[in-house]
Amino acid sequence: MNFELTEEQRAFQDLAAQFAADHMEPYAKEWDETCHFPVETLRKGAELGFGGIYVGDDVGGSALTRTDAAIIFEQLSKGCTSTAAFISIHNMAAWMIDSFGTDEQRRRWLPKLCTMESIASYCLTEPGSGSDAAALRTRAKPDGNAAYVLNGSKSFISGGGYSDIYVTMVRTGDDSPNGISCMVIENGTDGLSFGKQEEKLGWHSQPTAMVNFEDCRVPAQNMIGGDGDGFKIAMAGLDGGRLNIAACSIGAAQASFDLAVRYMGERQQFGRHLSEFQALQFRVADMATELEAARLMLHKAATMVDAKDPGATQQAAMAKRFATDVAFDVVNQALQLHGGYGYLKDYPIERYLRDVRVHQILEGTNEVMRLIIARSILGKK
C-alpha cells in the first residue's frame, strides 16, 4: 500500500485547486444568491479535462482513474460545492455512455460532452420510486418503427430543463430489475418537457426540475447497452457517483475546517485566542481525524471500483455513508466555531452547510447505504 499521491495526481490536485480558486470561489456566493447556472465556467473546466474525467481519450476524455477523480472533485468542491457536484453528475452520465455504449454512440455524443458543449443529466429517480430504484415506472414501448414511445416522469433531476441529453432509466420489460433499460433522450425531442425549477435549501448553482415524457418518441438506436441492461448500468454508475459525492463532501468540509482554524487564530474571547482553549483544540483534533479517515476510506473505495473488485459496491457505500455524515458534522462544527458570524451569508460556511446536506440523501440515502453494507456482510438479497 502506498498512501502518497503520485506526481501526476499532485498535478491534477494543484490544477483543480487553482481552477476552483480562480474561477469558482470568487463567484460562488453570487451563483448561490441568484441561482445562476455557470455554464461558461463548466466549459472552462472542461478545457482542463473536467468534462470527461474517466471517459476514454479516443473521444476526448481524460481517461483518468476513480482515485484521480476523487482528488479532483475534492478540490473543485472547495470552490463551489454545488457546481462541483453537478460536474460529477455530468461525468457519471458521460461514463455510462462511454462504458456501455456502442462505438457509434460514443463518437456521437461523447466529444461534445467532454468539452461540455453538450451537458448531460442522469434520470433515475421518480416521484414514486426514490431509493427503490428497481420500482421505477417510466415506460418505453416499442412502436414497430425502430423507436420507443416513452411515458412517465423523473424527479429531482439536476440540469432538468437545461441539459442537452438525458441518460434515462426506463422500463421496457417486466416489473423486475431485469425489465429496465437505459436510453439517451435528446433535448428538443417531441413529448419531452420539464417541470418548474425546484426551490432548494442548497445546490442553488445547478437547476433541478422534473423531467416528463408524454408519448415521447425516441429512436431505438438511443438505447445504451442491451434491452434489460439498465439496472446493471444504473448500479455501476451509482458506485462511481457515490465516490464523487463523497469527494465533494470532503472538499466542502476541508474548506470549512480550514476557515475555522484560521478564525480561531484570529478571534479572541476573554483575552485569549480561541485556539488556546483546550476544549476547542480537542474539537479541532477530532474534526481533522474524521476528515482524514473519510478521505482514506474514499481512496480505498475508488481503487476497488477501478479494479472491479467484488467488494467495491460495499466499500463505495461505506465511503459515501461515512464521508457525507462526517462532512456535514465537520461543516456544522466549523460554523459553530465561528459563532454568530458562521450564520451570516458574509461567510461561506453557511453555504457549505446547505450544499452538503443533500449529500446524505442523493446517490442513495445513507439509510440505503447501511442496507447495502449490511446485506453484503450478512449475505442477504
Active site members: 363
Query: Residue 168: which H helix or E strand, with range?
Result: strand 165-171
**Coil, helix or strand at residue 35:** coil
Helix (H), strand (E) counts: the chain: 11, 10
CB count, 10 Å around CB of 87?
Answer: 26
Quick one: cell of 258?
A: 480550514
- In degrees, to the nearest 5, what angle opens at C-alpha 246 toward C-alphas 244 and 247? 65
Are 32 and 351 a contacting pair, CB within 8 Å?
Answer: yes
Pairwise CA distance, residues 358 & 363, whole Å = 10
CA distances from 174 to 24, 126, 188, 197 (A): 45, 18, 29, 32
What's the number of CA atoms in the CB half-sphere (13 Å) around residue 86? 32
Q: How far is CA 260 from the centre of its chain?
A: 25
Pairwise CA distance, residues 341 & 363, whole Å = 32
